[in-house]
Chain A
Amino acid sequence: MPADADILTQLPDLGGPAEPLLKVRGLTRYFKLNRGLFRSQRGAIRAVDEVSFDIRKGETLGLVGESGCGKSTLSRLIMALMVPSGGEVIFDGQSVGPGGWSLKEYRRQVQMVFQDSYASLNPRMTVEEVIAFGPIVHGMTHRDAVSRAHELLAAVGLSVAQFARRYAHELSGGQRQRVNIARALALRPRLIILDEPVSALDKSVEAQVLNLLMDLKDEFGLTYLFVSHDLNVVHYMVDRVMVMYLGRVVEIGSVDRIYQDAAHPYTQALLASRPLLDPKRRRTEPPVTGDPPNPVNPPSGCRFHTRCAYADAVCSTQVPGLVPIAKDHAAACLMTVPGSGHHCAPAMAA
């Protein structure tokens, strides 16, 4: 038996640097809709529909999209807080579930920070108890777990003397989010899913937390999945970006490719919708009209075709797959597929 303090160090890299830390393959989640008053609503919401991507070791992958695009469902599926309707999650070369990582082993390596910092802390536990809880469940002695909690409080910039014995309601929003980050770090995970971690914070506090997340990533050797609707924050934080629309991935690529040369009209519209902080360059026309459609009845074919300025007849019938268009850049748009029948598509190679 190793000494208690030796347990719960970060688990070693199994697959080597070339193996993605997380592989998601065909992940799908439907929500059945036969409830409703008088069972009036039938069918299913395809919240996440055949989503596949990799998170590489040591990177920060940004996940962006509007409400209802499935980004929170996807985070919860990866975290195994929800059972998928199909597809699989492979962590460092081993699948999650029978024959691979047990849930307890997996969750030790993958942790999550939620948007609502208050709802994600137990109101009846002090800050140090909240942080020490995970390590105790994983076999650490109470004393070691509390001393780890104190180390982590210092690491996230909260003074132990001042904060260790406080309850969640005695903290400000920024302080609570720091506690949530400390709790996520307590099991020495390798991947942290950050689900809108700064959306509820004021700008001056947001900057503090973003700086902290950058520092912790280096200090603890972490990989991040950074979920956000704020494209400026994503641009600042991430190495690669994945854009979702109504349950599907529409584009994925390096941050430079996406922000300088986005291929999908939805990504372009999303980027063009950012307020500019420059009163001299005000827009007169919105980049895209209408609201995202209801995910209960998503449009046929390409789900964006109802709002797309370039939509052609073929877009309403043919579902575009995610195809590579350059190094480290793929998009799901018929305009990029040679011979797809879209009037903007490049000609078929002879």
Chain B
Amino acid sequence: MPGEPDDALVQVRNLHVRFVSKDATVHAVNGVDFDLGTGEVLCILGESGSGKSVTLRSMMRLHPPRTTVLSGAIRVAGHDILAISDRRLSEIRGSIVSMIFQEPMTSLDPVFTLGTQIAEVIVRHEGTSRATARRRALELLDLVQIPSARQRLAAYPHELSGGLRQRAMIAIALACRPKVLLADEPTTALDATVQIQILLLLRHLQQQMGMGMIFVTHDLGVASEIADRIAVMYAGRFVEQGPVDALMRAPLHPYTQGLLGATVHDGMRGKRLFTIPGAPPDLEFLPPGCSFAPRCSRASAECLNDPPHWRHPAPGRIARCVRVQDAA
């Protein structure tokens, strides 16, 4: 995108991700561009299959290399993620860029204690002694507000509740003070009263450590609790980007408008819910034009030929829709 500073913490340009197998090629991400500034929280909002998690995983090249075709450019804190060697990549993972996942139980190793798992990261990246690493592990458990941290160091993942497991995973991810934290729906599997605690913790830590964070979610409510900026994703493309306040108050793209109208919130009782007809397109056979056109009530002939370009209706706000007018 023109006009963005070159020294952004994360720069993604024209990212394409395809999954290739004998039977099919799935176009999961189809030309994504964005920047993330230091200390900024970007939420990628989308429904299942929109490519939001695939985009996130590309930031650390976590896809199986044999079946994945990545193209475009990803720069994270000056490192060219798509070009560097595997060896260099594993040095960056955890120390420069770290990730937390939706299911803490499957992301933690069931046969090692929390203390061992946290210390392992520190020893590996910083070459400290085990004793130093364990001391740091204890500090980290305090940092993520795990009560009676000293006993928990010796606990196995199955002995913890879902909320504590997610806190432990955050501790591992932050062990080497990464510059960028990638969060893949980290609160989706949690109960309501625990979800808000984890969101507040993440926001607190992100601000305290000055990290950039990319937070993937399908939940508008979660995004409005944590984001500085929101990017709405549909069928492998960003369709709208903007600051959280403005985007939630007055969405530009018909898909974002539909999503907001279909999300049940206060004051909707007794009214009929707005729905988006149909279902997202098959990523094997994307339509040539705007991917949302087949479901869009305002689609016209010009939507069907080529994917719409970005329109810039206001500073900081962009949308890929022919109906949106550029600012004069």
Contact = CB atoms under 8 A, between A and B. Distances in A.
Interface of A: 66-67, 172, 174, 202-208, 210-211, 214, 229-233, 235-236, 255, 269-270, 273-280, 282-292, 294
Contact of B191 (A208, A229, A274): A229
22 contacts: A66-B191, A66-B192, A67-B162, A202-B47, A203-B218, A204-B259, A206-B264, A207-B261, A207-B263, A232-B266, A235-B264, A275-B196, A275-B199, A275-B219, A275-B224, A277-B265, A279-B224, A286-B197, A287-B193, A289-B197, A291-B161, A291-B163
B302 interface: no
Given A204-B275, A207-B275, A270 B264 contact: no
Given A236-B269, A278-B224, A288-B193, A207 B248 contact: no
A103 B229 CA distance: 55
Interface of B: 47-48, 147, 161-164, 191-197, 199-200, 218-222, 224-225, 227, 244-245, 248, 258-259, 261-266, 268-269, 272-276, 279
B222 A275 contact: yes
A172 B282 CA distance: 11
A274 B265 CA distance: 10
A294 B161 CA distance: 8
B191 A292 contact: yes
Given A203-B259, A236-B269, A292-B161, A269 B248 contact: no
Nearest to B272: A211
A205 B276 CA distance: 8
A159 B39 CA distance: 50
Given A283-B200, A291-B194, A203 B220 contact: yes
A207 B197 contact: no
Contacts of B200: 283-286
B224 A270 contact: no
Contact of B258 (A172, A204, A286): A204
Contacts of A284: 200
The 9 closest A-B pairs by CB, nearest first: A275-B221, A66-B191, A207-B262, A291-B161, A202-B47, A204-B276, A207-B273, A291-B163, A286-B197
A23 to B, nearest CB: 27
Given A277-B263, A284-B200, 5 more contacts: A202-B47, A202-B48, A235-B266, A255-B269, A277-B220
Given A172-B279, A204-B276, A279-B244, A233 B264 contact: yes
B273 to A, nearest CB: 4
Give the most central of B147, B264, B268: most A CB within 10 Å. B264
Contacts of B266: 232, 235
A204 B225 contact: no
